[in-house]
Amino acid sequence: MGLKRIIGLLIFLGLATACLIYLRSKNTIPPRLRISTWSNYFPDSVIQDFTSKTGIKVELSYISSNEELFAKLKAGATGLDIVQPSDYMVRQMKSLSMLSKLDPTLLPNLIHLDDYYRHLSYDLKNEYSVPFTWGTSGIAVNTAKVQLNETEVSWELLLNSSYPRQTSLLDDMREVFSAVLFLNHLSPNTRDLDNLVKAKQQISQIKNHVLMFNSESKPLLLKEEVYIAHIFSSDAVQAQAENPAIRYFIPREGGLIWTDNFAIPVSSQHKLQAHTFINYFLSPEHALETVRQSHLATPNREVKDLLPLEEKNNPNIYPPKEVFKKLFFLEDIGDTLPLMNRMWTELKS
């Protein structure tokens, strides 16, 4: 064999070996999970612990509303492996085949979910979603700045605020319409067009007086740029932990209850690792750490049993039965939804 042929063969073998090593390394490096979530849910420490224990790196991005998440997926956004839609949005995404069916054999920690959260109407058997946390929507008030009768808080306090330039509303269509509908003693799930038109007119008047529509009102409350905020309970509890003068109220007319859920988009390229992440945060050990750091309400019955009494009995996180009776889930409103979407677009323009 000539020298040139020997050299050529050695080069070929070297390239082949390098290629094989490269391919093997590609197959052994865990993928980076891309997760679209709500702010203030996953402290850095719990994500770091997940990565150290599984080798799977995580990249978080944040949404401010369900409609924003829906629009991203509907427009063909790819690269997301886990999303966190709320209850009514799970129903909508399921109907449009946007979510992948979950494999229960990869989620053995589902057994820790309280039975109530395993049979919710929007996904009766947890086929497409798993509740991660739940909460309510109401009003946060800086009581050092605003005097009020705490036993008689109404949606009037928010929607006809005495401090309009220090008042914010959620930047969320269904939430804002619901607040006005509650004030008018109507169902947040009404399909009556006349009532919705009236609600739109009220919102149109309100928007010119309040400071802003913003779903991230916690920092505004803490900076005292806002005294009265339309807010999710989880954000309000976190704000109160830093400033005890901030109090959270579910108005006497009633409020919304919601769940935020783990779900896997059909476009995910890392479904196995996505199941690993979901199952990890269903375990009592890891769910407890997340719940305690972020002051979240848990659907995990074992985690709730492990909480200190002051957290377990906190009415802002776990409302008492008499308040619970006044809470409503947002439901599918069918053909009324596009009409509400159009109204919201006109209001925000």
Q: Do 228 and 146 touch, CB atoms closer than 8 A?
A: yes
Res 100: pLDDT: 97
Class at the top of the CATH hierarchy for domain 136-257+327-348: alpha beta
Residue ranges per structural domain of the chain: 31-134+259-318, 136-257+327-348
**What distance in Å separates the CA atoms of residue 158 and residue 178, rounded to the nearest whole number?**
13
HEC secondary structure over the chain:
CCHHHHHHHHHHHHHHHHHHHHHHHHHHCCCEEEEEECCCCCCHHHHHHHHHHHCCEEEEEECCCHHHHHHHHHCCCCCCCEECCEHHHHHHHHHCCCECCCCHHHCHHHHHECHHHHCCHHHCCCCCCEEEEEEEEEEEEECCCCCCCCCCCCCHHHHCCCCHHHEEECCCHHHHHHHHHHHCCCCCCCCCHHHHHHHHHHHHHHHCCCCEECCCCHHHHHCCCCCEEEEEHHHHHHHHHHCCCEEEECCCCCEEEEEEEEECECCCCCHHHHHHHHHHCCCHHHHHHHHHHHCCECCEHHHHHHCCHHHHCCCCCCCCHHHHCCEECCCCCCCHHHHHHHHHHHHHC
CATH homologous superfamily of 31-134+259-318 equals: Periplasmic binding protein-like II (3.40.190.10)
If you average pLDDT over every residue of the chain, what do you get? 91
**What distance in Å separates the CA atoms of residue 62 and residue 96, rounded to the nearest whole number?**
22
Both tokens of 232, joined, read 């999710």
Both tokens of 114, joined, read 């309280």
Res 283: pLDDT: 96
The residue among 287, 281, 304, 157 whose CA lies nearest residue 231 is: 157
What pLDDT, in 10s, does the model give residues 201-229?
A: 999 999 999 999 999 999 999 999 999 99
Compute CA distances 24 → 17, 32, 51, 271, whole Å: 11, 17, 21, 20
Give the length of the chain: 349
Res 76: pLDDT: 79
Res 297: pLDDT: 96
Res 77: pLDDT: 74
CA angle 279, 236, 113 (to 5 degrees): 25
Q: Is there a shared CATH topology between the 31-134+259-318 domain and the 136-257+327-348 domain?
A: yes
Sheet with strand 32-37: strands edge to edge = 57-62, 32-37, 82-83
Residues of the chain with pLDDT under 70: 1-30
**What distance in Å separates the CA atoms of residue 301 and residue 324, rounded to the nearest whole number?**
18
pTM: 0.86
Residues 6 or more apart whose CB falls under 8 angstroms from that of 177 comprise 188, 196, 199, 200, 203, 340, 344
